[in-house]
Amino acid sequence: MSSKNDENLRLICQNKKARFEYELGDRIEAGIVLVGAEVKSLRQGKANLTEAYAKLENGEAWLVGVHITPYINASYNNHNPDRKRKLLLKRKEIKKLIGKIQEKGQSLIPLKLYFKNGLVKAELALAKGKKLHDKRQAMKEADSKREVSRAMKDYRR
Say which CATH number the domain at 72 has.
2.40.280.10
Instruction: Say if 156 falls within a structural domain.
Output: no
Residue 80 has a pLDDT of 85
**What is the domain count for the chain?**
1
Residue 42 has a pLDDT of 92
pLDDT < 50 positions in the chain:
1-3, 6
Can you say whether residue 89 is alpha, beta or left, with left for phi > 0 and alpha for psi between -120 and 50 degrees? beta
Instruction: Say if 138 falls within a structural domain.
Output: no
* Domain that residue 29 falls in: 10-130
Asked if 88 and 31 count as a contact pair (C-beta separation under 8 A), the reply is yes
Residues 6+ apart with CB under 8 A from 130: 20, 21, 22, 23, 138
What is the Cα Rg of the chain in Å?
19
Residue environment code for 133-148, b if the CB has 16+ CB neighbours within 10 A, otherwise e? eeeeeeeeeeeeeeee
Residue 22 has a pLDDT of 86
Which burial class, exposed, middle or buried, applies to 152 when counting CB atoms under 10 A from its CB (0-12, 13-18, 19+)?
exposed
Instruction: Say if 75 falls within a structural domain.
Output: yes
Residue 2 has a pLDDT of 43
Give the tens place of pLDDT for each residue, 106-141. 889 999 999 999 899 999 999 888 777 777 888 888
How many Cα neighbours within 13 Å face the side chain of 4?
0
Instruction: Say if 147 falls within a structural domain.
Output: no
CA distance 55 to 61: 6
Residue 4 has a pLDDT of 54
Instruction: Say if 150 falls within a structural domain.
Output: no
Residue 12 has a pLDDT of 93
